Amino acid sequence: MKPIKEGKVREIYDNGDSLIMVATDRISCFDVILKNIVSKKGTVLTQMSKFWFDLTKDILPNHMISTDVKDMPEFFQKPEYDGNSMMCKKLEMLPIECIVRGYITGSGWASYKENGTVCGIKLPEGLKESDKLPEPIYTPSTKAEIGDHDENISFEQSIDHLEKYFPGKGREYAEKLRDNTIALYKKCAEYALSKGIIIADTKFEFGLDEDGNMVIGDEMLTPDSSRFWPAEGYEPGHGQPSFDKQFARDWLKANPMTGHFRRKSWTRPSRNISRHTKCLQEKNWPENNSSSEIEHTLQTAPDAHSEAVSFYIKCDKNKTVARKQRGIYNKYRNQMILTDLKECDYEQEKQGEKEKNSWRSYSDDRSDRGNLYFLLCSF
């Protein structure tokens, strides 16, 4: 059985009138998938989502049907799927990431230092890093494809964005997203604080069920989608220790472009792009170029990238054929990204064991598994 969609961390399987969502042990930051895994991370994500879905169903329904693999097809009744799989309702997802911030940190703090605002929202003067905000603020963003970056937008822009997909419903849906996001955050933040944990910020995703009702989708309040801080020792004025993947973000910032991550939109070394651009130019790509010819070229030159592909699409005056060419290219690009990383690994291995060891020691020092389990057990 193959997934119908593979994200940075999750794999989605079609189950007829439902979906099976499997959380892997992969870890991603800044649209980057690190090659290292965190053992049982997928189980932590799934079980925490289940906990929060159950806790908040009085505010809004969610897409969870079951996390018991006995309720799923036989394929999932294996140890590798037990605990990290969730059977879900099919939803029409709303193309907005609903971010709510109760404390000022991360990119919000960087923006505030620059101009006193976070995503265009004016905040009081004199705030310190990690300060609690007077009221939680809602800062939506667009939902980008893998390899692209989400874009922060204002509430008014979210109305326009939703209107494109749901004519006549933009404002209604935007207001519901905002109000539900704030309500969910407030209830969960209060509960977490009673357990000694601060939820600094988080994000939710929502969809519409078959009756058009708004439903919580994706995951909920996990270490992947949230910032969790220990309440004990909390002190504004600096960054806080965390029970989330901030340690990985910090490490990646300190070790950019190392051999310990892979991008879904990985760009090969420039010499390969040049070589295959030249290869494609020499072919001249006639207007009536057939799909099989394109497919063959991409099979024999799978690391041809966007520059080269743009060249032959530009040369093609037939838009229908151009779309077909782009689709075939994307097919092989995705295949290449998922299966053909040997050259990338070879290029990066030259940087030696020092960086590999730095990741191991960094993640060990921060006790990432312990943090995740502690967080789960606290609830």
Query: pLDDT tens, 37-87?
Result: 888 999 999 999 999 999 999 999 999 999 999 999 999 999 999 999 999
Rounded to an integer, the average pLDDT of 179-195 is 97
- Domains of the chain, by residue range, sit at 5-89, 93-256, 270-340
pLDDT tops 90 at residue 95? yes
Task: Tell me which fold the domain 5-89 belongs to.
Answer: Phosphorylase Kinase; domain 1 (3.30.200)
**Cα–Cα distance measured from residue 112 to residue 120, given in angstroms and rounded to the nearest whole number:** 10
Report the SS3 class of residue 10.
Answer: strand
Paired tokens of 317: 């005056």
Q: Is the pLDDT of residue 104 over 90?
A: yes
Helix (H, G, I), strand (E, B) or coil at 277: helix
**Do the first three CATH levels of 5-89 and 93-256 match, i.e. the same topology?**
no
- Chain-wide mean pLDDT for the chain? 77
Q: Is the pLDDT of residue 186 over 90?
A: yes
DSSP string, 75-93: GG-SGGGTTTEEEEE--EE
pTM of the model: 0.71
pLDDT (0 to 100) of residue 32: 74
CATH class belonging to 93-256? alpha beta
Tens of pLDDT, residue by residue over 274-319, are 333 344 444 444 444 454 554 454 444 444 434 334 433 444 434 4
Residue pair 136/71 in contact (Cβ under 8 Å)? The answer is: no
What is the pLDDT, as a whole number, of residue 258? Answer: 55
| C-alpha dihedral (178, 182, 184, 188), degrees to nearest 10 | 160
